[in-house]
Each structure stands twice: as C-alpha cells, then as structure tokens.
Amino acid sequence: MPALFEPFTQRSVTLKNRIVVSPMCEYSSVDGYPNDWHLVHLGSRAVGGAGLVICEATGVAADGRISPADTGIYLEGHAGAWARITSFVKEQGSVPGMQLAHAGRKASTLSPWDGGGPAVLEAGGWSPIWSASSVPFIEGWQVPVSLDSAGMERVRSEFAAATKRSAEAGFEVVEIHAAHGYLLHQFLSPLANQREDEYGGSLENRMRFPLQVIASVREAWPERLPLWLRISATDWAEEGGWDLEQAIEFSRRAKELGVDVIDVSSGGTIARPNIPIGPGYQVPLSEAIRRAAGVATASVGMITEPQQAEAILAAGKADLVVLARELLRDPYWPRRAAKELAFDIPAPKQYGRAW
C-alpha cells in the first residue's frame, strides 16, 4: 500500500488516508455563517477522496475574524449551520476539521478581490483590534490595542466556547491557528510582541499565552478527539524573528498539553519576507519538528504531485500532507493520486462509471 493511502489513527478518529485539505479562506460568509458555497467547496473535496477536510480559518469572535466575510463559530447559530456541512463530509467517508482562529492585528481587512487592506467601518470593518503589543502589521494599518489580563482571559474563553460549539457541530478534529502572523503567532514572534511583562521578552514568556489557549481548548475538546496546531516554523526574518529552534520548543510544549499533530507552515509576521519558495519548500521544517519534538507533523506548501507527496511520507519527513491550491485546481486530486500510485480507492456510487 502506498504511504499516501495508509490510514492514520489518533485517539478515536481514523483518517482513511494521509491527504488533508488545507484551511482556505473563501471570504464568502455573512455574519460568520457558512452557506451553500462552503457546503459545495468543502463537500466536493470530501467527494474527491481527502482523508481530512479542514474548513477555513474560522473566527472564535466577531472581532477576531480576518475579514467581515470570514466564517465564525462564535454564535450558537453557527454550530447548526456548520452541522449541515460536517454531516455531508462524513457521509463521503472523510473527517471534518475545524480551524479555530483569531486574527489579532490582521483583523478587519478586506477580501483579496477588494484589495486586502484594512476595512473601514463603512466596508464592514471594526475597531478596536487586538494584539500582543500596539504595533500595526504594516505602517498605515489600524494600530491594535495590546491585550491586558482581562482581554487575554476573554480570548481564552472565546477559544474554549468555540471549541465546544465545534463539537456540537459534528467536527472530529480541531486545529488551533497559531501561524501566519495571526494573534497567537503575534505573541510568539518577538517582531510583533514587544511586551515587558510576563507575556513578553523571553521565549518562555512569549509562549505563555498561546500555551494557555491550547490548554483551554484541550480541556474543552473531548478527550477522544484529536487536537491539531498550525504553526509558522519561521518568520523568514533576517534577524530577530521567530525561528525553527523556537518552533521546536513550542511544539514540544504543545505536545505535552495534548496536541496530537503540528501542522507546519511558515511566514506571516512580516509583510515582505524573503522566502525560498519552491516545490515542498516547507517540508524540511516539518521534518525537523517531527524528529526533534517527537510529535506527528503535517507538511504543507507547494505539494502538487502524487509521487512528491508519497516520497515525503515514505521518507518520514511528515505523517500527513496538506494541500491547498492544488485541491482548488483539482478537487479529485486524491483519486488521481491513487491511480498514479496504482492503488484502488472506492468512488461514490454516483461517479462509479467515471472511475
């Protein structure tokens, strides 16, 4: 059996293969509610054969969304809207995953096709936005308010409440978003975190709040279900930023708190980093964390070809592969991969004549 199609079991959940649909913002929601677009977008990737289908970065609070058009899980009604989607994903033999997110200083922005910059109130934006420190992402963007102890407790409670709603909605994997320059990454990176209290300065201090959030989510999430954590393993900064050595230690500590998989990405803290982009460019980061932290990892970033994905897994560089743009181009990539790797997977009966 190809490594790509070996089942993957954690706690009480088994993925039928090692192919994961990466969270991809669709900017198509109203008031945080997923709709028909999300059902078709996520459902078609489940029909396509992915083992785990993770929904987009979903706000744990209205003011934690990246844009006014992001999905949310901060209202009771959101759980019911998501349940329709998780039910369909499960019917296709895939596992539905929720990514819990808080954008921090990168909140209240426009959709990409509207320019992606800060969203003014007239365009649905909001103020204040929050961060580890009062440092804007880019000069000219809204200046965030530094979270005080009450604010941090509020955010922890929002993550915990969103976790419980995710269970109510039928999700079987929750992933905490601590990557791409969003709130938890803002605490981790010294480029965004300029605090002088117990949450800033040393690595131990900068990890403190993200680890507290992880603990709150793990406590709220059923013990029988896996917990994932997406991190940026490096800021790709020339100096002074978050880097792989720190990411390894953070991954070790997250594992101790009950995180089952580290979903390894990179970047997002600075606007124009010098990233050596190429096929599988983040795989070495996943491999290093897997080996040094002793935790299962998922690798993402320009993984496009079946043989490439198979080689990553067969060499022990990751436990799972996470695809984004390639699955936008081809929702049935897992079926094409099976064919190229000479492995048979069942097709939906409605599509059997085609496969």
- 144 to each of 71, 134, 182, 196, 237, how far by Cα in Å? 22, 5, 12, 17, 22
Residue linked to tokens 């204040």? 128
Residue 212 · residue 244 · CB < 8 Å:
no
| Contact partners, residue 346, CB within 8 Å, separation at least 6 | none
- Any idea which residues carry the catalytic annotation? 182
Place of tokens 């990168």: 106
Contact criterion met (CB below 8 Å) for 353 and 69: no
